[in-house]
Amino acid sequence: MRVAFYTLGCKVNQFESWAMGEQFESQGCQIVDWREEADIYVVNTCAVTSKAAYQSRQILNRLKRQRPSAKIIATGCHVQTQPSMIIESVGSGICLAGNEQKPQIATMSFKYKGCTGIFITDISLAKEIGRLLISRPPKGRTRAFVKIQDGCDAFCSYCIVPYARGRSRSLPPRLVFKQVGDLLASGVKEIVLTGIHIGLYGRDLVPETSLYGLLKDLCMAFPQIRFRLSSIEATEVTDEFILWASDTENFCKHFHVPLQSGSAKVLKDMNRKYSPSDFRDLIFRIKKQMPFCGIGTDVMTGFPTETETDFYETLNLLERLPISYVHAFPYSPRPGTVASAMVSRSSRKEARERARHLIRLGDQKRGEFCQGLVGTAQEVVIEKKIKKGAFWTGKSSNYMEVMVKSDQDLADSVINVHVTEARGGVLVGIPK
């Protein structure tokens, strides 16, 4: 049996597709590219924006039209939150499986004839994290994700994720350690710990633990592996954490800390638990301890209560901060959230233009950060060879893309690179 995956959305979805792929392989299936002919297609959908939800339905319709004899299974957050919309758009003849059903999808594919129907449970009742695990990365990858947490208790007013993922649930440390050990044996050089709200890690376990505690244990137990966090909230980065991060060689000098808005009023309306000054102070504390640390952020424009003045507060804050990159995107109303009932004070066109403005600023920030790294030595995990020329590419500890010029075979290696130049938002260097 040939099985293909199409994955939309976040790193958690990517990890879960890898894990589901391993489960299919354990039953004798071959994983192929989604563009190829397959017996089963699994579409891991996203619901974080209306565009992502639309793209999810779009690929389902395309597969149903182009592969009429194949089994098509839709899973993920769009399935969890709006199955009726998918049925209305795509029609019958496919299987809808909720997020809690992901660990059983491979088994379901063979147990139920035709694999059609709806398999969705109330995820708000889930008490434990679904056991989706990996033992090796997809072929050719030297960096891998490990999902340590699922769900979110924050209920930001704009966010559909708590309704799609349920409450926070953590993977027991012994299972995290097992995956890391297996990935080390398979040749992985860097692991990105990911989840929906990983700062909540461990609070639901018995005995209770924490993300900080898990990180310290992992970095000590696996000095050969570089560890990175996918994202962490501003309220969850303590001074103790920053000091430890600066002193720990195999913890990547990189934080992704969502801002969402630089307006105190808008943050309150979003139900975010920090102020712009809290965020600003954190960024400067990180940079003081780790001058070359890469810091990225997410920013939303066009939130219903955002005015032009609020937007310029966001812009002015970001201009003054020593951040490395910005992910900016316009607000997308999600049915069922508090914000979806709010009256918008800006048009979609204004929201898109504001996002473009912040994207340009982010490009400028990335370029400036890269320019400041010229002349330094950066540890780089090599990911692949560029087809033309004698260049390899990889990620630095501070999450910058690095092009390394070398005639040697650098595959699957971690090397120190002397940075000789910056080309926009990309570093260029030679092995040190």
CB atoms closer than 10 angstroms to residue 208: 10
Single-letter residue type at 239: D
The pair of three-digit structure tokens given for residue 150, joined into one six-digit string: 């699922």
CB atoms closer than 10 angstroms to residue 28: 7
pLDDT of residue 111: 78
In the predicted model, what is the mean pLDDT of residues 283-296?
98
Map tokens 């980065």 to a residue. 237
pLDDT in tens, 235-287: 999 999 999 999 999 999 999 999 999 999 999 999 999 999 999 999 999 99
pLDDT band at 20 (very low <50, low <70, confident <90, very high): very high
pLDDT in tens, 113-124: 656 789 999 999
Note the helical H segments in 348-392: 348-371
Q: Which CATH class is domain 126-230?
A: alpha beta
pLDDT in tens, 92-137: 889 999 999 999 999 988 876 656 789 999 999 999 999 999 999 9
Single-letter residue type at 48: V
Best CA proximity match to 197, nearest among 160, 170, 163: 170
pLDDT above 70: residue 227: yes
Give the CATH fold of the 2-121 domain: Rossmann fold (3.40.50)
Supply the pTM of this predicted model: 0.95
Q: Indicate where the chain has its CATH 3.30.750.210 domain(s).
A: 126-230
Q: Which CATH class is domain 254-371?
A: alpha beta
pLDDT in tens, 175-199: 999 999 999 999 999 999 999 999 9
pLDDT in tens, 414-430: 999 999 999 989 999 99
Q: Indicate where the chain has its CATH 3.30.750.200 domain(s).
A: 254-371
pLDDT in tens, 39-82: 999 999 999 999 999 999 999 999 999 999 999 999 999 999 99
Provide the angle, in degrees to the nearest 10, between the axes of the packed helices 276-289 and 239-247.
30
pLDDT of residue 114: 59
DSSP β-bridge partners for residue 170: 149
Q: Indicate where the chain has its CATH 2.40.50 domain(s).
A: 377-431
Provide the angle, in degrees to the nearest 10, between the axes of the packed helices 348-371 and 308-320.
10
Give the CATH fold of the 377-431 domain: OB fold (Dihydrolipoamide Acetyltransferase, E2P) (2.40.50)
pLDDT of residue 115: 66
The pair of three-digit structure tokens given for residue 276, joined into one six-digit string: 């712009």
